[in-house]
């Protein structure tokens, strides 16, 4: 009989552990700290990309230089999006975190569209996207402020 009770206890314990799902969701402060770390790393990566592009570039038109710069910025944006995607925000931070992630994705999509216009179409694509970029940036900044982010927008 003791064996049956012990076996039932072990089975219940294993079921309880399996249903936990892992680590607890991140608080607003923990989330902010992790995002800031990711942003610093992504910024360094983007700066290294820009330095490589600058060294390898010969004479560039202003449009070509802008495309190279935007390409480097996109490296940082995409890195941030990829690395924060798996973060699990607590209920008190979830709405702001979801808004932040959405804003980062939206901004990366617009930057990609501008970059894809190439050197010849860069200025017109940029001009056509200004209102959209401004709206995305405002929402992104608001979410970042609510999360307590200071250097990641």
Considering the entire predicted model, what is its pTM? 0.79
pLDDT of residue 57: 62
The structure tokens 């969701």 sit at 25
At 58, the pLDDT band (50, 70, 90 cuts) reads low
Tell me the pLDDT of the chain averaged across its residues: 84
> Do 140 and 107 contact (CB within 8 A), yes or no?
yes
pLDDT digits (tens, 9 = 90+) for 77-123: 999 999 999 999 999 999 999 999 999 999 999 999 999 999 899 99
Residue 140: exposure state from Cβ atoms within 10 A (0-12, 13-18, ≥19): buried
Cα–Cα distance measured from residue 66 to residue 107, given in angstroms and rounded to the nearest whole number: 16
pLDDT digits (tens, 9 = 90+) for 43-55: 998 888 888 777 7
pLDDT of residue 9: 39
Q: Which two tokens stand for residue 10?
A: 């072990």
Does the structure show a pLDDT above 70 at 2? no
């Amino acid at each position: 009989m003791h064996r049956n009770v012990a076996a039932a206890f072990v089975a219940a314990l294993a079921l309880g552990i399996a249903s936990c799902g892992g680590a607890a969701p991140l608080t607003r402060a923990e989330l902010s700290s992790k995002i800031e770390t990711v942003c610093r790393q992504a910024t360094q990566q983007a700066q290294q990309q820009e330095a490589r592009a600058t060294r390898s570039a010969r004479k560039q038109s202003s449009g070509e230089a802008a495309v190279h710069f935007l390409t480097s910025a996109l490296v940082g944006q995409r890195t941030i999006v990829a690395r924060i995607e798996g973060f699990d925000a607590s209920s008190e931070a979830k709405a702001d975190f979801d808004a932040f992630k959405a804003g980062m994705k939206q901004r990366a999509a617009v930057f990609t569209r501008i970059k894809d216009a190439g050197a010849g179409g860069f200025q017109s694509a940029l001009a056509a996207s200004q209102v959209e970029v401004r709206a995305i940036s405002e929402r992104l900044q608001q979410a970042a402020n609510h999360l307590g982010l200071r250097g990641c927008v």
